[in-house]
Amino acid sequence: MSDFNQLPTQEKSRLSIWQAAFVIARRDFMAILFSRAFFFFLLGPVFMITIATISGSLGSRISRDAMVPEIGIAMSMEETGRMLEAHNLLANELGGALPPMVAVQGADAPDFDPRVVLEEKRGNYAAIVTGSLARPVLTGPEGQIDYMRGRVALVAAAAAGAAPTTFPSVDMQVVSTSAASAKSGQIITAQAGQMLLFLLTMLLAGMVLSNLVEEKGNKIIEILAAAIPMDAVFLGKLFAMLGVSFVGIAVWGTVGASLFLLLGNAAPSFPTPAVGWPAFLALGVIYFAMGYLLLGSLFLSIGSMAATVREVQTLSMPVTMLQLGVFFFASYAMSKIGSSVEWAAVIVPFSSPFAMLARAAQQEGLTQHLIAIGWQALAVAVLVKAGATLFRKRVMKSGGQGKAKRSLWRRSKAAA
Amino acid sequence: MNMALGNMSFPDNDSRPLAIEARGLVKRFEGTTAVDGVDISVPEGAIYGILGPNGAGKTTTLRMLLGIIDPDEGTRKVFGHERPHDIARLIGYLPEERGLYPSMKAYEAIAFMGALRGVPLEEGKRRGRELLEANGLGHAVERQIRQLSKGMAQNVQLLGTLVHRPKLVVLDEPFSGLDALNQGKLERMIRSLAEEGTTVIFSTHVIHHAERLCEGVAIIAGGKVPYAGSVDAARNRIPAQVRLETRAREGRWMEALPADARREGDYFYFSLPESGVEPLLRALIEGEAGILSLSIERAGLHDAFVAIAGEAAARAMQAGSQAETE
């Protein structure tokens, strides 16, 4: 122990909570960054994009392959011809608003009954028009004929000569935006921002959930608990994961920007958010951090109660459901800015970052964001404190668990 | 004999300030009282043992002293501070269940433990390397914890406990899992720490370690501390045992033997009378006992433990240490 003798005694008596949290965060950050798990974490978006691309292309193939439902015309031969002519004429002007129309084979048979044709699923008819141009009869399932009634009437009127048959050409002037298109565009930006926020927090949740299992399994938790406050352990672990996620975002951002440059005009573009792109991106990063810290502190607390990896896996499902719930709540509230539902989404800490990001896309002004960020930071502090206290009480078996009962007992004895 | 006393003579006549002062510590877990009114006083620079069988409440007591858990009742002060975390840099702690991050290298593990107690990381790494070299573990400096044997990992953790040069070292069952050679090394290390002025408090269920090392002990059984004081005072509670061999089988000299004397073969065994050995010798000589041999053996800590904590606790202690040996 000769060298040991020369070591100076520490002068200050303890680390501050932030210094202690930094020690934990540094260890965790490095350990995660150089682990195999981080590599898979980086690949997370690739899996998501691959699955989305595959399911998207499958969906479009299925819809391409599916037969387009048609309206069958089963009037007299002459009127059927006029109906089809009128349809062709109107379809040129109305485009996809008119469903295709075709003549029904065998409609001139004396015992022709459109209900039988539809029930026996002959052809690809969504509905069948019988009767005359003056009084067409539309036969089909309830939902279908409600939708087609007006269209059939329009075509029949045109066929009967009661509707215009010539149309003036309309010259078109393109403007960059209008109130309606700007609003709908900003909703798209808000949706995209929320979705990105959700995917990022989703990726991190599983890792946060299992964050304290290693320490508990290795019994390192005793050393940590003896040296620094449990709040610092929780904070350190949260910020380590936040740091890891920022590294991930930097990597994904670089790859994404490279692809964007490569794709050029083919890349998707989003309408400008109400606060402008720089502020929106900055708020996106902050709200991501807040959203992650809020959900992360909750998940870390829940995960810290688990003793084994298996227990963590069991907890994953309800945690994912909770995340989805938060996301759906914020998404639902997004288009109703100022409504009580939207205010609730803004105030509830877990949905607040999502709701506020949607606001950033649709409403100008930054003051509300400063207030919201302060509120969310307060909620993070409360959650970390509560999680650490719960951990000390439930896992470390600390805290005066007999105190409350005892004082009640004493009070009742004193009263007696 | 008063069996219900907590703080006794140790360290009453001691001018040293107290490193640890605990009064009436109580801890309950789900209705079960694990520790029930523990009083402990440990002067600075002392080596102090907490003796008791497994499940007696030793670890719970240490965890309360360190602030890992809070007592339900009672007060604790470490270097005069009621919140041990406030002086975390002055304390080193080796828990009973050893634990290190398996992927860390040995010197990094020591540095990390130092960082938790305020040693800058780079400084901790330097000290880690030095400590490993100085303690014959130079070959393990760059090896990951998962690559080390259990004993080596245990040594690394012990060095991590000391890397910040604490004023108080708390070791929970430090000898557990060590072979005889390493137990000897650890005993020397503990002595060396105390010589440098460090207070060392350790728990053990092996009485010999406490007897060899400690100035003071707290005997804990069933969550209570029937004795806390100096090792000498504990031993002095049991009268020294006399073994007497005489030529004469019977005679007037037998009247000089105390009431608890018993014959086993050629020997008589009895407690040394309070009046001392001289009057006894005089009576034996005058009574023509023909003394062939007479030896006086001072009571050991084990005898004191049996007398204080009872046979059952002593048997539980022995069973615990045997199980560990096996």
- We report the CATH number of the domain holding residue B139 as 3.40.50.300
Where is the domain boundary, B188, B218, B235? B235
Is B35 or A172 the better-scoring residue by pLDDT? B35
Instruction: Indicate whether B182 pLDDT > 60.
Output: yes
Q: Name which of B51, B12, B52, B60 is nearest B33 in CA terms.
A: B60
Domain limits for position B245:
239-297
- Say what the ipTM of the complex is: 0.82
Is B315 or B61 the better-scoring residue by pLDDT? B61
Q: What is the pLDDT of residue A268?
A: 63
Q: What is the pLDDT of residue B87?
A: 92
Asked if residue B7 is part of any domain, the answer here is no
Q: A370: burial class by Cβ within 10 Å (0-12, 13-18, 19+)? A: exposed
Q: How many CB atoms lie within 10 A of CB A22?
A: 19
Nearest Cβ partner for A223 among B72, B99, B192:
B99
Residue with tokens 């608890």: B260
In terms of domains, do B91 and B105 share one? yes
Alpha-carbon dihedral A241, A246, A249, A255, rounded to 10 degrees: -120
Asked if residue B145 is part of any domain, the answer here is yes
Which pTM does this prediction carry? Answer: 0.74
Q: What is the pLDDT of residue A382?
A: 94
Q: Which residues of A83-118 are buried (b: 16+ CB within 10 A; e: fewer)?
A: bbebbebbbeeeeeebbebeebeebeeeeeebeebb
Q: Decide if A404 touches B, using CB distance below 8 A.
A: no
Q: Which of A41-50, B121-130, B192-201 is least confident?
A: A41-50
| Banded model confidence at residue B7, pLDDT cuts 50, 70, 90 | very low
Instruction: With CB atoms and an 8 Å threshold, state whether A23 touches B116.
Output: yes
Q: What is the pLDDT of residue B3?
A: 35
In terms of domains, do B177 and B251 share one? no
In terms of domains, do B225 and B247 share one? no
In terms of domains, do B162 and B106 share one? yes
Q: What is the pLDDT of residue B273?
A: 87
Nearest Cβ partner for A14 among B72, B86, B165:
B86
Q: What is the pLDDT of residue A180?
A: 58
Is B317 or A216 the better-scoring residue by pLDDT? A216
Instruction: With CB atoms and an 8 Å threshold, state whether B90 touches A227.
Output: no
In a mutational test of the B interface, the residue from A3, A4, A211 whose CB has the highest number of chain B CBs within 10 Å is: A4
| Mean pLDDT, residues B170-176 | 93
Asked if residue B229 is part of any domain, the answer here is yes
Q: What is the pLDDT of residue A411?
A: 43
In terms of domains, do B134 and B45 share one? yes
**Angstrom distances, CA of residue A115 to CA of A84, A108, A132, A155, A263:** 21, 15, 17, 22, 53
User: Tens digit of pLDDT per residue, chain A (416 long)?
Assistant: 434 444 444 445 789 999 999 999 999 999 989 888 888 888 877 887 888 788 878 877 776 665 567 889 999 889 999 999 988 888 888 777 788 899 988 888 888 888 888 888 777 788 899 998 888 998 988 877 888 888 888 888 888 887 676 666 666 665 555 555 666 677 888 888 888 888 888 777 767 777 788 788 778 889 999 999 999 999 999 999 899 888 988 898 888 888 878 876 665 667 778 888 889 889 998 999 999 898 888 888 888 888 777 887 787 788 888 888 888 898 888 878 888 999 999 999 999 999 999 898 888 889 999 999 999 999 999 998 998 888 888 777 755 444 444 444 444 444 44
Nearest Cβ partner for B97 among A19, A222, A403:
A222
Q: Which of A121-125, B158-162, B274-278 is least confident?
A: A121-125
**Cα A185 off chain centre by:** 17
Q: Which of A38-42, B134-138, B148-152 is least confident?
A: A38-42
- For chain B, the domain total comes to 2
Asked if residue B152 is part of any domain, the answer here is yes
Closest approach of B137 to chain A, Cα-based (Å): 13
In terms of domains, do B229 and B113 share one? yes
Closest approach of A36 to chain B, Cα-based (Å): 12
Asked if residue B321 is part of any domain, the answer here is no
Interface of A with B in 309-368 (CB under 8 A): none
**Chain B residues touching residue A228 (CB < 8 angstroms):** 85, 88, 116
Instruction: Indicate whether B49 pLDDT > 90.
Output: yes
Is B122 or A364 the better-scoring residue by pLDDT? B122
Peptide bond into B11 cis (omega under 30): yes
Handedness of CA B130, B136, B142, B148 (dihedral sign): negative
| Banded model confidence at residue B1, pLDDT cuts 50, 70, 90 | very low
Instruction: Indicate whether B251 pLDDT > 60.
Output: yes
Instruction: With CB atoms and an 8 Å threshold, state whether B116 touches A223.
Output: yes
Residue with tokens 């105030």: A347
Closest approach of A26 to chain B, Cα-based (Å): 10
Closest approach of A400 to chain B, Cα-based (Å): 5
> What is the rounded distance in angstroms from the CA atom of residue B82 to the CA atom of residue B121?
28
> What is the rounded distance in angstroms from the CA atom of residue B39 to the CA atom of residue B18?
13
In terms of domains, do B123 and B244 share one? no
Q: Decide if A394 touches B, using CB distance below 8 A.
A: no
Instruction: With CB atoms and an 8 Å threshold, state whether A226 touches B97.
Output: no
Asked if residue B248 is part of any domain, the answer here is yes
Instruction: With CB atoms and an 8 Å threshold, state whether B95 touches A223.
Output: yes
Using an 8 Å Cβ cutoff, are A32 and A244 in contact?
A: yes
Q: Nearest chain B Cα to A28, which residue? A: B101
In terms of domains, do B173 and B40 share one? yes
Q: Nearest chain B Cα to A230, which residue? A: B68
**Chain A residues touching residue B121 (CB < 8 angstroms):** 26
Nearest Cβ partner for A14 among B30, B66, B85:
B85
At position A218, the amino acid (one-letter code) is N
- B29 token code pair: 């877990």
In terms of domains, do B177 and B250 share one? no
Instruction: With CB atoms and an 8 Å threshold, state whether B116 touches A2.
Output: no
Give percent above pLDDT 90 in chain B.
61
Closest approach of A9 to chain B, Cα-based (Å): 6
Q: What is the pLDDT of residue A142?
A: 80
Instruction: Indicate whether B325 pLDDT > 60.
Output: no
Interface of A with B in 4-63 (CB under 8 A): 4-5, 7-10, 12-15, 19-20, 23, 26-27, 31
Q: What is the pLDDT of residue A46?
A: 81
Q: Nearest chain A Cα to B121, which residue? A: A23
Closest approach of B108 to chain A, Cα-based (Å): 10
Q: Decide if A220 touches B, using CB distance below 8 A.
A: yes
Asked if residue B270 is part of any domain, the answer here is yes
> What is the rounded distance in angstroms from the CA atom of residue A172 to the CA atom of residue A174?
6
Residue B202: phi, psi to the nearest 5?
-135, 155
- CA geometry: angle A113, A118, A121, nearest 5 deg: 130
Asked if residue B104 is part of any domain, the answer here is yes
Q: What is the pLDDT of residue A12?
A: 58
In terms of domains, do B204 and B289 share one? no
Instruction: With CB atoms and an 8 Å threshold, state whether B99 touches A4.
Output: no
> What DSSP designation does A68 have?
P
Is A193 or B191 the better-scoring residue by pLDDT? B191
| Mean pLDDT, residues B229-233 | 88
Instruction: Indicate whether B294 pLDDT > 90.
Output: yes
Nearest Cβ partner for B162 among A4, A219, A223:
A4
In terms of domains, do B158 and B43 share one? yes
Q: What is the pLDDT of residue A175?
A: 54
In terms of domains, do B244 and B119 share one? no
Q: What is the pLDDT of residue A227?
A: 94
Q: Which of A250-264, B133-147, B288-302 is least confident?
A: A250-264
Strand partners, A357: none
